[in-house]
Structure 1
Amino acid sequence: MIFLTLGTQEPFDRLVRAVDDWCAATGRGTDLFGQITERAGYRPKHFEWVASLPPALHRQRCSEAEFIVSHAGMGSIITAMSYGKPIVILPRRADLKEHRNDHQQATARRLGGRPGLLVAQTESDLPPLLDRLVAGEAANDASALSPFADQGLIDALTAFIHGGHR
């Protein structure tokens, strides 16, 4: 199963339409489930979707997904990484009134290229990335994040605290 998730705040019709078009072109709609928000203007025709999911069902969908498709929100990215799932992101754009600023563009630039995280800068970039993941390419790149901080960070914080820095 492929899981499309947009969070609960803002609709992202450009991404939903691009995924719906991909499903229509490939016939993969039966493999995809989407959570698209209450205020979505575009309603998909080629895959099953809901406006919102309770947290437990959202976690279940993330756990069961082969990969995740999302906006470039940190919550979605961290969730995918914590489950060890590859994620394809399409950042929202302020100039298209999808967000109040371009912090998602900055997130995509900063995190793009990490194992298991594929960035589509435009809707036309999305289908080839989805095709790659369906074919199993890049799926093995994703690994689950540890629930604990990196030992180097712990050591640096410990040294800072015990070093008497103010």
Structure 2
Amino acid sequence: MIFVTVGMSSYKFDRLLIAMDKIATEINEEVIMQTGCSDFVPENTTFYNYLSRKEMDRLYEKARVIISHGGVGSVIAGIIQKKPLLVVPRLKQYNEHYDNHQVEFVSKIKEEKKAIIIDNPKEILSYLLKKELWDLDLELEQDNTLIFNLKEYIKSLRN
């Protein structure tokens, strides 16, 4: 199962949802999407606007692949599950967020090889079909170096 989450933002992320609904017709795997505040109604996937934390955790655990927006909580949840994680940051130019902080955040995740960062959701299909392209480090450091580095990075953004 592929789980797609756009988080709890008050901004829509239809660019990702529409792409994944189309991709669902081209793969032989269940796709479940958490669609947030979107008005888009997927035709080819199971979807929920919002889910409880418990239900989100259950879907993260069940998923073979997680596809997420670039929100800190969603990305960290995916990393903790040690599952292949594709991240599509929301972009200001498409009115998906008020700025491009998700792009800045996911650049740190990319450096650590904890996720594949995708700018255009239409590229997701190629990653789902060609898993040998993935070069991810799914192990978590015992000393929580990644979490510490991310916390420091987030603090620097606030200053």
Q: TM-score range by the shorter chain?
A: 0.7 to 0.9
Q: 1:59 aligns with which of 37, 57, 60?
A: 57
Q: Which residue of 2 aligns with 1:21?
A: 22
Q: Report the Cα offset of residue 79 of structure 1.
A: 0.4
Distance 1:145 1:90, change over 3 A: same
Counterpart amino acid of 1:36? T
Contact 1:116–1:138, Cα closer than 8 Å, also in 2: no
**Pair member with larger Rg:** 1
Q: Report the Cα offset of residue 95 of structure 1.
A: 1.1
Distance 1:118 1:140, change over 3 A: closer
d(CA) in 2 for partners of 1:88 and 1:26? 16
d(CA) in 1 for partners of 2:136 and 2:106? 20
Q: Which residue of 1 aligns with 2:5?
A: 5
TM-score, normalised relative to structure 1: 0.77
Counterpart amino acid of 1:64? K
Q: Report the Cα offset of residue 21 of structure 1.
A: 1.0
Say which SS state the counterpart of residue 50 (structure 2) adopts.
coil
Contact 2:115–2:136, Cα closer than 8 Å, also in 1: no
Counterpart amino acid of 2:89? P
Contact 2:70–2:89, Cα closer than 8 Å, also in 1: yes
Counterpart amino acid of 1:26? I
Q: 2:106 aligns with which of 91, 105, 108?
A: 108
* Structure 2 gap ranges (5+): 149-159
TM-score, normalised relative to structure 2: 0.80
* Structure 1 gap ranges (5+): 154-166
Give CA deviations for 1:106-159 in whole Å, capped at 9, x if unaligned: 1232322533401111123222122234xx76487422465x644xx7xxxxxx
Counterpart amino acid of 2:57? R
Give the fraction of aligned pairs with identical amino acids, expressed as a percent. 22
d(CA) in 1 for partners of 2:123 and 2:54? 31
Q: Report the Cα offset of residue 27 of structure 1.
A: 4.2
Q: Which residue of 2 aligns with 1:143?
A: 139
d(CA) in 2 for partners of 1:2 and 1:123? 14
Number of equivalent positions = 145
Distance 1:84 1:56, change over 3 A: same
